[in-house]
Structure 1
């Protein structure tokens, strides 16, 4: 791996979620003169980003071997650390971090340990919270992707957590805006139809049933509004059945996993997020970069980004306010343009290169 600083990223899996996409963004803009990277993961997931990471020059190693519950994954990680003379281990899963922290202390060549908090502590299982609390002090650096994630930690730990908005590849996302006409034609949309789009995996914390119920209210009140959802997950069949039960038909389409989500997002008129739990969603930052007005539930790090100047924040779990906000934006093209322009301007704060340089500074400090 050369004379550069050797960094091992550890994740539970490499599915196309927000955390994994942040790793891919880092891989693409990393300082390769100073750092080499490798990824270890425990769980194989559909639509894995492994191929994308390896195409970006980051090798990937399955340390779980299909059995993440088997504690031998810890021995595989330690062997990897020893064989590659890893300087920094950066962990992106609370469960993985809690188990690995004391194990790394057994190594004669002990790498620095960096940990990123992607979600709120209240969203973790009780045993994970307890193990994190006991082992947190073994880390050399702590990072949180949102103020909500940082502030959810026990008070005595918060002062050591650095808030760092990780960002997206702004130029790459913005370049997808030119795909709008093509994508809308492929989706069969007319010029005067309003497309409301969500980008989130089909998991309980994203609360798609809430969005489906809100969509039913919207289409009952307004013609010419359609919904699409990008993402895959274990609730697919259940959500499709609920869509059909509500009689939404082609007014609400599940498009599944889309490799180039920003290209499809360029066809949206409104970006919507109905989650109960969030860190700071990558898709939200991409929506801003594309100049999309936002309707989102006020959870996690979302209020850190969304206010009345770029969209509408609504209470989590409530159908009426979510439907009302969507109707408000669907009815007013001038309002959508104004909010979208403000979102595009605000997106400048989401330049991934800034966050990546800071993370790499943390690596150098911790390793040094």
Structure 2
């Protein structure tokens, strides 16, 4: 079994490790191919080595070398004659188009529908023509793709399987929801790659407004993740004089993300579009109230019983939502407890692993003709 996923921080690794921890094909031989312009995340390497699981890094040069990259990745995927190729995301689709082996190829489609590029849509169309199954995370995502691709869409190949995570590893800090907003320092945070489809600038703006409106408030903003927008965020933080209040933690491993979330009072997810956010799932599993932008891929997760929504890009509305929870700590604690209950009932990686195993067995039987 070959897994193909992005080498840096992101939902790909979180989902794969959650499934492996839940026993996904525990008796199979796994090869993990980490690809991208970023070197493999050390947390991934450590966790794979601890499992004794084979892995390789297939690097890509930024902005060039697409053909050579796809050829190198295709060789790495098929040289072991796998039974299953599990591709996370659309970026590596050209590497699995020419499949001369007996491998079943399934694609886990993760790009937000609202932020897909023309290249992404082209890759998804190619996937419909060439792989065995395309897995969408939500029904909404599947319907949007069908409407966009039209005649290129192959409905018989489409399945809906939501993400999952290790809900025992991502569990609340001691004290549970009762600890929220109980200390002298209020801690807000967000976990996401620093890239254009994440709206960190609005988050920083809202936090600055909050601090200005409440000068006696001792508040901190913790941001985990790295990426192309980091330098711009650093400049914005400095321009606003927030260096002592806002921390950019960079890339954290799974334990680091969990520990960061456990130290927060409120989780804020400022984004321009999602499919099914692993960070929101992790925050909910840790028992945090969630405030998030009302965008596709978020509104189906953050409902009034577990959190608050604000109009995307509206810093004043985000500030008001945060202030509302600060003024109603019991409501924040109720939302946090409800978020944990939601994670237990809907986001357990064991359910995800079982769904993918059932799908894989069906694809293998179909490939074998029986």
Is TM more than 0.5 here?
yes
Distance 1:213 1:78, change over 3 A: closer
| TM-score of the pair, normalised by structure 1 | 0.87
Matching residue of 2:208: 216
- Please tell me whether residue 124 in structure 1 is matched to residue 119 in structure 2: no
The number of aligned residues is 350
Q: Cα deviation per residue 1:297-329 (whole Å; 9 max; x = unaligned)?
A: 122321121111111011211111111101101
Matching residue of 1:63: 58
1:1-368 to 2 correspondences below 5 Å = 7-11=1-5, 13-46=6-39, 48=41, 49-64=44-59, 69-97=65-93, 99-104=94-99, 107=100, 109-155=101-147, 156=150, 157=153, 159=155, 160-174=157-171, 177-178=173-174, 191-222=183-214, 223-259=217-253, 260-348=256-344, 349-368=346-365
Distance 1:55 1:299, change over 3 A: farther
SS at match of 1:367: helix
SS at match of 2:268: strand
SS at match of 2:227: coil
Tell whether the 8 Å contact from 2:2 to 2:31 is kept in structure 1 after alignment.
yes
| TM-score of the pair, normalised by structure 2 | 0.86
Distance 1:135 1:56, change over 3 A: same
In the alignment, the residues of structure 1 paired with residue 197 and residue 60 of structure 2 have an alpha-carbon distance, to the nearest angstrom, of: 27
In the alignment, the residues of structure 1 paired with residue 225 and residue 26 of structure 2 have an alpha-carbon distance, to the nearest angstrom, of: 35
Tell whether the 8 Å contact from 1:200 to 1:231 is kept in structure 2 after alignment.
yes
SS at match of 1:272: strand
Distance 1:213 1:56, change over 3 A: same
Q: Cα deviation per residue 1:243-293 (whole Å; 9 max; x = unaligned)?
A: 121122322222222322111211111000111122211111111111110
Higher mean Cα deviation, 148-157 or 16-25? 148-157
In the alignment, the residues of structure 2 paired with residue 35 and residue 161 of structure 1 have an alpha-carbon distance, to the nearest angstrom, of: 25
SS at match of 2:32: strand
Displaced runs of 4 or more, over 6 A = none
Tell whether the 8 Å contact from 1:226 to 1:251 is kept in structure 2 after alignment.
yes
In the alignment, the residues of structure 1 paired with residue 86 and residue 324 of structure 2 have an alpha-carbon distance, to the nearest angstrom, of: 43
Tell whether the 8 Å contact from 2:226 to 2:251 is kept in structure 1 after alignment.
yes
Higher mean Cα deviation, 264-273 or 115-124? 115-124
Q: Cα deviation per residue 1:146-188 (whole Å; 9 max; x = unaligned)?
A: 34432331334384422212211001111x61399xxx9xxxx
Q: C-alpha root-mean-square deviation of aligned residues, in Å? A: 2.6
Q: Cα deviation per residue 1:110-158 (whole Å; 9 max; x = unaligned)?
A: 3111011112344232133134324413221121123443233133438
Tell whether the 8 Å contact from 1:94 to 1:128 is kept in structure 2 after alignment.
yes
In the alignment, the residues of structure 2 paired with residue 55 and residue 277 of structure 1 have an alpha-carbon distance, to the nearest angstrom, of: 34
SS at match of 1:254: strand
In the alignment, the residues of structure 1 paired with residue 143 and residue 244 of structure 2 have an alpha-carbon distance, to the nearest angstrom, of: 41
Tell whether the 8 Å contact from 1:147 to 1:304 is kept in structure 2 after alignment.
no
Tell whether the 8 Å contact from 2:113 to 2:274 is kept in structure 1 after alignment.
no
SS at match of 1:96: coil
